Each structure stands twice: as structure tokens, then as C-alpha cells.
Structure 1
Amino acid sequence: MPAQTAQILDGKALAQKIQLQLQNQVRSLQTKIGRPPGLAVLMVGDNPASAVYVRNKEKSCHKVGIASLGKHFPENTSQAELEQVIQQLNQDERVDGILVQLPLPKHLDAVSLLHTIAPHKDADGLHPVNLGHLVRSETGLRSCTPAGVMKLLQEYQIPLAGKKAVVVGRSILVGKPLALMLLEENATVTIAHSRTQDLVGVCREADLLIAAVGKPQLITAAMVKPGAVVIDVGINRVEDEQGKSQLVGDVDFEAVAEVAQYITPVPGGIGPMTVAMLLQNTVTSYSRTFGIA
């Protein structure tokens, strides 16, 4: 019997479609508002991976018509200086979204910087006020990566109501908010993590399995129920025998693709969706400021 090959959930294609919609939305709003939406991405130090992410975000902003008001700070910038910059951006009428690029140098407290961002300008959707709105199923800016996962499932019309969803990973960035979003869609949700007993058994029960841990190829074919939907949020840089580095996810893609019905690739799955949702949050915040949304 030939190996079943899962259908690819193409996040890259959907992200491009969303960017096109946002571009049209920005064009029509700008004539009413008189300025473009603005996103300020703050980066501290010289982390090469962060520099690539920030460049990609700026390129995407440019495509959609969002003014990129980012700032790059030296490694030794103090907490007080950054908090002051965020306070100024909170007051700046040209800025609709503020984002602090992680990871930060060790001497800085990321949580306290996040709390300094005005909730309505929280482009990453991670401020406690916005997470509180999510818990209560109220409108608010949503965390970008989980929102990107939900948007991709919706695009491919994958039913969630009554389905068993297992989220592997409990971070505040992905695992916890994603579990809440799945609950909103009436899935039965289990969060699995490093202390979960019989992780293989728990995962094998899932109609929808989401890996968000940051461990290369943690999810094997033996952990996947035949015909399940598998979403890979992990992005890990690994080196092969020749010393060449490549990006892989938390899922053993080749093996799992033979068991699952749908699967996201890495790269080209959830990564582009995260950026698309960041742009979406910025445009949402921009239109709300003017009472248009």
C-alpha cells in the first residue's frame, strides 16, 4: 500500500492573501485617516536571528503600506531607557502597534517592558489586559502565533467543534492562548508538557495535534493518530553532518506526513502566519483608534 501523504496547510500562501487584503484595507482607510498605520519594532543588541525576523517584518510592513517606525538599540541599553522609549511611543499618534523583539539581552526584564506597552498598541497581543479579554471571549488584540494557527485551520475549513485537540507546550506565547482559542471554537482541549505522563498516549488521542515546544522533531509518527491534523509551531535551527544549518520544526515531518491528514511545513507554515497576524493587529488597532472598526 502506498504511503499516505498528508495535505500541506500552506501558511505562506494564506499570509500573502491576508497581506493583499490588508493592503486594500490600508489604502481605503488612509484616505479617511490621513496617515498610514505605524508599527514600532524595538530590537536590542545584535542577535542574528532577531535581525532577520525584524527585517522580514519591516519588508512585510512596507508591502502592506504600514509605516515601519522601528528602533535598534545597543546591547547595553538600560531597562529605564527602553521603558521611557515605550512610554513615548504610547503617546505617539503615528504609532498603532509596538513590539519588543525577543529574546532580549540577559540584563533586561521582558515582562515588565511588555507591561509598559499600552494595551491598545500591543501588536503581539501578549499584554495581560489582552490575554484577559481572550479568557473572557471578548474582543481584543490576539497573540499572533496562536491567532495565525486558528486562521489557517479556518482557511482550510477544518472542523474543531467537539474534536479532541492536544497542545504540546504551555508557554504564554503559544500554548496557553492557543488552548483558549480552541476552547472558544468548542474543541475539547488538553495541554501536554514536560511533566505529562505517557505523552505518546495523550498525543495519539488527538484529532488535532499542535506542537509548540522548541524541540527538533519531538513528535514522531508513533505519536500521531492516523488521519489527524498536525500543526507544527516549532522553529529550530539544526546542523546536518556536513555542518550546514537548516530549519526544522517540532514534528518529524517526513514520517508524520505519512500518517496525518493535514500537516504544516517548517518553514512556510505558521511562521508567515505569525507575521500576517502582527500586521493584522496593527491595522485593527489603527482602525479602532479612529472608530472605524
Structure 2
Amino acid sequence: MRVSSGQRIPVVVQSRGRRRAGARVLWVGAEAVVTCGVVVLLLVVHQLWWTNRQARAEALQQVRVLEREWDISPADPDPDPGPGPDSHSDSEPDSPSDPVTGSGSGSRGASPSGTPPLEAAAPTRRPAAGAAVDPSDPAPSAAFAVLRIPRLGLTVPVARGISKRSVLDKGYVGHYPGTAAPGRTGNFALAGHRNTHGEPFRYLNRLVPGDEVSVRTRARTYVYRVDQILRQTAPRDVGVVRAVPRSIVKPSYGYDEPGAYLTLTTCTPEFSSAYRLVVWAKLVR
């Protein structure tokens, strides 16, 4: 092809500098993505593995300490517990809890994996008139009992209160303030994590009616038998931890007469705090 003397052939010159700058931007972006991924992975490992390992070890150590102490210095057995110092009464609550926000004697808000199983605990109440006050009453957040669920292979300490930091995150099961003491007439209501921090109630959904649950205290061991299971209810369904437990969201679940009940609550489904799983048991011995 001939080119006249008056025409010019266009020449395209690629800029090496621009290509290098683009490569650097891509490299920095890739490094940032990888770094973020590693950080997220470490956080997941910490939450799902390390917190479980740490909390389980602390909880099992607390069980050993309690049972060693009880074996060395057992209390006199109580043949007829009767109404306990934690039983509900008609007296004015010392520290009422807002059923919507959970303020008061309940714990504060938490992350989905660490949210207390019910947003509002029963209010802490004074002992009923004439009720004997137990001088060995433990301090708040102190472990005072050992819960065993053979079907789940679970052995875990029970502490007073449902504080996330001082009870639940230690791998313990928490005793709702204002609910009955173990073996007493009323509702001995407990909360536990479903995931992370020891996750003692992770497999609570595997319980079936007829399963036995034991609660050991210094005085004696109480045995309950699973009776009803409420697979899903709202976080604000505080009726499930009342003295005569009955769901206010699903009224067909619960009881009509006073008795010695055990209530176990946790979040459901796993890795979520959208709903609550509730297991009820009755005292058999």
C-alpha cells in the first residue's frame, strides 16, 4: 500500500506508567481483601472455638470445686423443701424488670449468640411471709448448684442471675431472678447459651418428654422429668418463667396448677436470637 507524502501514519504509544499504577492498585486491593478475610476468620475461630474451650474448662472446674466442697461439708438434707426464699410472692418487687427492654434485674442486651434466652426475666421478689431464709444463699453470680442432663452428656454449674458477662459467658447456666429455688414449689427457671461461650444448651432441642434432668445442691439432688417442649416462641414471652409457667404467645403450652417446675430456655435457631426454645420438666423426686 502506498502512502502519499502528505499523509501520516498514526502511532499508538502505551503508557507503562499507567499500567504499573493500575497493577499496584489491584495488588493493594487484593492484600486488603486477604487481610480482612484473615481477621474475620480469626474472629470466627475465637467465637466458635476458643470461647467454648475456655468457658467449658472454667465451668467444669467450678463443678469440681462445688462437689468437692459439698462432699467434705454436706448440709443436712431437707425432707420437705416447701416454698423457698426465691419463690414468687405478692410483695412488691425489689428490682422490677421491664418486660420489653429487659432492664432491671435482667441482663443487658447482647450479640445474637450471646443474647439471654428471654429479653425480660421475672422480677426479683422478697421472700414470702413466713418463708425460711436460707443463710447459705449464694452471692449474685455465684454458682450454687450443678445441672446434669444425661441425654446430652451435660454437666454444668448453675449461678444466680442471667448476666452475660458474669454468668452466661463463663459457660454457666443462669438462674432467672425471682424464680423458685431447686426442688421448691414454683418454677426453677434457667437460661444458657446455645452457641459460643461453652454453649451448654446447644443441643437442648434433642430432649424429649420423659428425659430426666437432675439438679444437685449442697443439701440434696433433685430429679425432674421433661414434660413439655415449646420449640419456638417470642423473646418477650415472659410467661414461660412465671411461677405457674404458661406461654403468653402460644397459650396451649404451659400449666394451670401450681407445682415444682424446671424451665430451661435458650435461643433458637442456632446462631440466632430470633426466637426462644423452652423445655419444661416436673419434679419427680
Return the index of the structure with the highest Cα Rg: 2
TM-score (norm 2): 0.23
TM-score (norm 1): 0.22
Q: Please state which structure has a larger fraction of its residues in helix.
A: 1
Q: Please state which structure has a larger fraction of its residues in strand.
A: 2
Higher relative contact order (CA 8 A, sep 6+): 1
